[in-house]
Structure 1
């Protein structure tokens, strides 16, 4: 253990207070959904466990994660491969059924991937040509691409997209050239162009690449009124619930659409809808402000990190959380297509919440050990 009094003085207590605030929003959102107060109490238990995990993470110098990163990455890949032998849940093989809880290996794999990529990039941080040539990006892309592909096969498109957010921010901090960004944008644009042509002239091939249910999400995201009581029901009800919250909301104890089950999975993917309906624009705005300050504090930690490894790790976490928050809130207000991405620290779920606490624990660990060793 490497926890000293001088480290306790440098703990970012603002982040801890933000997490407590997010916990209150999580409790209000879950208890206000159709899942009810029982699930909210279970979330409180997960929060207690999460803070315990965060505390344990602070006991060790974060360079321990640097040394263990490749081992953790390998363990994560084994878990992602092994999950294909499990029984599908909601048409996806994403979870291990551990009896009282479901474990989703793609959640901790986010941290393992960030640590591994950060270690690889930090080793080459002194190389001015680290990303000058395009081929030098291939190892980093493969480190992210392998778990991303395994998660896509499950299939879990939403979680796979989170990995692209992690990769993007880490490469930006690493100094990727604008020229290479344009290449990537060109590839993405070419992919969409090809998919458009296939949809127009070869739909049999198109629907082998894009699953029908994924295409439905795009169609009914753009126009949920096509089937307001069918495939557009979820988004339509979310928009109605958010709008009905108006400025100050309907109140915590007032029965709402969410509490009667008109907002599907209100305790998880659509928990922002529940909060907006209960607490209105003011409450939903306050929640987004908390996320903003959490991300801001992490950016500060990245800028003050004492080594490249710490900076890259925090950059990856910033990309991960920013993408998840933007996508989850965006899909409830028709800004983004609907995916199965939970709202960090708010949505109900043990494996996601504990993983997020572990990840934030690593970030706080990096922040509290930002001062270089001094000799008096």
Structure 2
């Protein structure tokens, strides 16, 4: 442990203030949902634990994470394999039941994957041809693909998609060639095209690949009015609630559509809907500005990191959080299909919140130690 005064001087305290502001929004959103004040108070406890975890992360030089990255990655894979043998919760094998709390291993696996990919890429940072040939991307893609596939099996499509955001930002920072971006884009387009052909000519095969409930999410995302009181209900109610908030919202203490339970899972996946209804466009917009400054500060840390490993780690965290914020808010306003992705630092949930604090702790650790050792 080497937390010295010279490191505290370089700590980005503005990030901590942003997290405190997001905590206020989290409390307002959860308390304003059908879950009520009790869940909001539990979230306060998770926030306290999160800040403690963040503080503990600052005690160690982040190079420790470099040395232990592969060990943590293997440990995370073991947890992901083991969770497949647990009893399903909400039709998914995604949680370990630890009595008073549920532990979701896919959350810390995000950190383990980022650290492992960052270590692999950092060892090749001085090689100008590291990504010149397309096949050299395969090890990085494989490191991402293994946990992604294990999470898909659970099934948890939303969390699995987050790993694609991590991969994209880390490859961009790593210097992926534009030609390879075209290759990957063409592969993705070919996959979508193949699925479209199967849907039109071999639906029995198509629905073995795409589950019916996943297809429903696309259909009723495009047109929730097809079943406004059925499979399109969740999105329809979200749009109504957000629109009813107008410019300044209905007020924190005013009974609303969300507080009466008309917005399903308002404390988690659809917490942005609750905030927009309670605080309106202005209040929800201010929350998005907080996210913008959080991402901005992390990008600044990545640019000032003293080594490639630190830059790659921060890039992975930026990609992860940006994807989650865009997807979560987007699905509540019909910009994106509905997936089970929580809004970082806002949605209720201990595993997700503490993991995010751990990630920010690693980022701040990198920012604190951006200067090489020197004599004062």
Normalising by structure 2, we get a TM-score of: 1.00
Asked if 1:352 corresponds to 2:375, the answer is: no
> What are the residue-to-residue correspondences of 1:289-300 with 2, within 5 Å?
289-300=289-300
Match of 1:63 in 2: 63
Match of 1:137 in 2: 137
Match of 1:153 in 2: 153
How far apart in 1 are the matches of 2:161 and 2:37?
32
How far apart in 1 are the matches of 2:203 and 2:327?
28
User: Which secondary structure does the structure 1 equivalent of 2:335 belong to?
Assistant: coil
1:92-132, Cα deviation, whole Å (9 max, x unpaired): 00000000000000000000000000000000000000100
Asked if 1:122 corresponds to 2:118, the answer is: no
How far apart in 2 are the matches of 1:7 and 1:191?
48
How far apart in 2 are the matches of 1:269 and 1:306?
37
1:126-179, Cα deviation, whole Å (9 max, x unpaired): 000010001111110100000000001111000000000000000000000000
Q: Per-residue deviation at 1:64?
A: 0.4
How far apart in 1 are the matches of 2:272 and 2:294?
17
Match of 1:227 in 2: 227
Aligned residue pairs total: 376
1:58-111, Cα deviation, whole Å (9 max, x unpaired): 000000000010000000000000001100001100000000000000000000
Match of 1:201 in 2: 201
> What are the residue-to-residue correspondences of 1:321-340 with 2, within 5 Å?
321-340=321-340
Q: Per-residue deviation at 1:373?
A: 1.1
Q: Per-residue deviation at 1:374?
A: 1.4
> What are the residue-to-residue correspondences of 1:1-376 with 2, within 5 Å?
1-375=1-375
User: Which secondary structure does the structure 2 equivalent of 1:61 belong to?
Assistant: coil
1:243-280, Cα deviation, whole Å (9 max, x unpaired): 00000000000000000000000000000000000000
Q: Per-residue deviation at 1:371?
A: 0.6
1:22-69, Cα deviation, whole Å (9 max, x unpaired): 000000000000000000000000000000000000000000000010
How far apart in 1 are the matches of 2:228 and 2:329?
21
User: Which secondary structure does the structure 1 equivalent of 2:49 belong to?
Assistant: helix
4+ long deviations beyond 2 Å: none
Normalising by structure 1, we get a TM-score of: 1.00
How far apart in 1 are the matches of 2:156 and 2:35?
23
Q: Per-residue deviation at 1:375?
A: 3.1
How far apart in 2 are the matches of 1:168 and 1:84?
27
How far apart in 1 are the matches of 2:197 and 2:145?
26
How far apart in 1 are the matches of 2:332 and 2:177?
34
Q: What is the aligned-residue RMSD (CA, Å)? A: 0.4
Q: Per-residue deviation at 1:2?
A: 1.2
